[in-house]
Structure 1
Amino acid sequence: MDLYLPVANLSVNALVIIMLGGGVGLLSGMFGVGGGFLTTPLLIFYGIPPTVAAASAATQVTGASVSGVMAHLERGGVDLRMGGILVVGGIIGSMLGALIFELLASVGQIDTAIAILYVVLLGSVGSLMAKEAWGVFRANKAGVPPPARKRRHHPLVASLPLRWRFYRSGLYISPLAPLILGAVVGILTMLLGVGGGFIMVPAMLYLLGMSTQVVVGTSLYQILFVTIATTMVHSMTTGAVDIVLAGLLLLGSVVGAQIGARFAQRAKPEYLRMALAAVVLLVALQMAVGLFIRPAEIYTVQ
């Protein structure tokens, strides 16, 4: 069944978009990531303009994050104080991202910028995940338990002034660190339509030194409010949010996430990490190849 997307200005097969959302939701449920970092590239591969893909993916991530945040709040897995600072930073970042988005769009380079950022980010994150999973494989093969991660914030974080206590996270650090982290993720959310969890979670663990018990819930809390702000900013500035597209994606992702969660309970974590790393690297490779291939249509009208 074909549906017309009013903002993207093209017709799409609704079943294909729902299945795409379902596939991303499946990965989200299996690997514990928001999936926005895969939604935008997949939409671009399907033929959706990059600006509309990024803006609509952020809207889809907003809806998909609600149930996750509620579940973590119920079990006390959210540091509300830390999350609040991350949200403030994320809102500031989304406003800065809107200015960057409009600047790049005005010079006709927004599509290229989105593709390059995805290649760099996905390539880096995928490589790090693959390296970590491979280390676990080698340790298991040798019969040696992998070294436990030491919970310690980065020296740069320790050097920042104005320390606060974050009791739920077990930290005594400057609020400037999560504020800056939130701003960076807010910029990426605005430009790429990602929730930022694939960057936020490692940063919270290895830079801020947060407790693993509250990392995922606090990340989802930040993602929820920042993607709401990003959607509003996109609607008022770029006008690139296609609510029909976002609704189809959300419909598929809700179902896919439930199926993915069932798979995740039966698989070993290191195999899941390696599988996710492979998916991320393949998407990065496809985006990189696309940068050097002449498109069928050199110019697009939006």
Structure 2
Amino acid sequence: MQVYLPIAEMSVNALLVLVMGGLVGFLSGMFGVGGGFLMTPLLIFIGVPPAIAVGTQANQLVAASVSGVLAHWRRNNVDVKMGVVMLAGGFVGTAIGVWIFGLLQRMGQIDFAITVSYVFFLGTIGAMMLVESSRAMLRRRAPSGGRGKLHRHSWLHGLPLKMRFQRSKLYISALLPAGIGLVGGMLVAIMGIGGGFILVPAMIYILNMPTGLVAGTSLFQIIFTTAVATLLQAASNQTVDVMLAFLLLVGGVVGAQFGTRTGTRLRGEHARLMLSLLVVGVALMLAWGLVVRPDDLFSITSGVS
């Protein structure tokens, strides 16, 4: 069934969009990543303009993240205090990101900037996660000579403004989660992603949060940053298509519930390995789109004076 998208000015298959929303919602609940890193490329692949894809699918992340957080909340897997501190930086980052997005849009470089950003971030983070998760699996199989340290500390843990997070059993500088939230907020606005593929590894390897709390806390923060990003994108850049957002919302809410149930059955290193393979695969597909010969070599517009 074809439906018309008024802002994108094109028709799409409604069933296809619903399935895409369900798939991204499933990943959101399973890994706590929001799923936007996959949804934006998928929308671009079916012909939705990149600027519309970014602005609209951030709205879908709100519903998918709410659905996922509720499931994690019932299992007591959300560190609310950590999420609130991350939000403080996330709101600032979102405002900055929307401003940068509008600037690039006025320059006519937003489509290229979105694609290049995806290739760089997804490729880098995906490769790092792939190496780390593979090593973790090998260490688990190898005999252990003794118990290692629970946390590894670096100069980052010597920063001021220390705060105690009882749920995560951490005593760290509030600047760390706030800084991670700021980066996540910028990514929401510029790339239309929840930032989970960066937030989740950062929360594990920089903050040393327990893996079981990471997904729920990440989704808690994503709810509010994506909601703010959607409102700002609609008001400032007019890049939110309501019809497309509705279809993605319906699929995302359903998929997140199934994803959360599946995620609780996976080991931490197995989940990270699967996520890294998915991230690297999407990056390679987008990189191929940048170098492959297009069907139309030139696009010329002319006005009549």
TM-score over 0.5 (shorter chain): yes
- Say if 2:158 is the partner of 1:186: no
1:63 corresponds to which letter in structure 2? A
- Alpha-carbon RMSD across the aligned residues, in angstroms, is 2.6
CA distance in 1, matches of 2:33, 2:241: 23
Instruction: Quote the Cα distance in structure 1 between the aligned partners of 2:228 and 2:20.
Output: 25
Aligned to 1:72: 72
Q: 2:173 is matched with which residue?
A: 174
In the alignment, structure 2 segments of 5+ residues that lack a partner are: none
Matched, 1:222 2:221: yes
- Residues of 2 paired with 1:148 and 1:200: CA distance? 25
**Aligned partners of 1:234 and 1:125: how far apart in 2?**
26
Residues 161-220 of structure 1: CA distance to partner in whole angstroms, max 9, x if unpaired? 222222223222222222222111100110111111111121112112233343222211
Q: Which amino acid aligns with 2:164?
A: R
The letter of the residue matching 1:190 is A
Amino acid at match of 1:178: P
Question: In 1, distance between residues paired with 2:266 and 2:162?
Answer: 40
Which residue number in structure 2 is paired with residue 103 of structure 1? Answer: 103
TM-score w.r.t. length of structure 2: 0.87
Shift in alpha-carbon separation, 1:175–1:273, aligned structure 2, 3 A: closer
Would the aligned equivalents of 1:153 and 1:208 in 2 still touch at CA under 8 Å?
no
| More deviation, 161-170/118-127 | 161-170
Judge conservation of contact 2:93–2:181 (CA < 8 Å) in 1.
yes
TM (norm. structure 1) is: 0.88
- 1:10 corresponds to: 10
The offset of 1:3, in angstroms, is: 0.4
Q: 2:99 aligned with 1:138, yes or no?
A: no
Report matched runs for 1:188-203 at 5 Å: 188-203=187-202
Specify whether residues 148 and 9 from structure 1 end up closer, same or farther in structure 2 by C-alpha distance, changes over 3 A only.
farther
- Mapping of 1:1-302 within 5 angstroms? 1-139=1-139, 142=142, 150-158=150-158, 160-261=159-260, 263-264=262-263, 270-296=269-295, 298-299=298-299
Structure 1 stretches lacking a partner, 5+ long: none
CA distance in 2: counterparts of 1:146 and 1:12, whole angstroms:
57
Is the Cα contact below 8 Å between 1:59 and 1:227 reproduced in 2?
A: yes
Structure 1 residues 187 and 176 mapped into 2: Cα distance closer, same or farther (>3 Å)?
same
* Separation in 2, partners of 1:271, 1:202: 14
How many Å apart are 1:66 and its aligned residue?
0.9
Task: Report deviation, 1:141.
Answer: 5.5
CA distance in 2, matches of 1:276, 1:60: 20
Instruction: Indicate conservation of the 8 Å contact 1:151/1:210, yes or no.
Output: no
Read off the aligned partner of 2:173 and give its amino acid letter. S
Q: How many residues align?
A: 300
Query: Residue 202 and residue 146 in structure 1: after superposition, are their counterparts in 2 closer, same or farther (change >3 A)?
Result: farther
**What secondary structure sits across from 1:4 in the alignment?**
strand
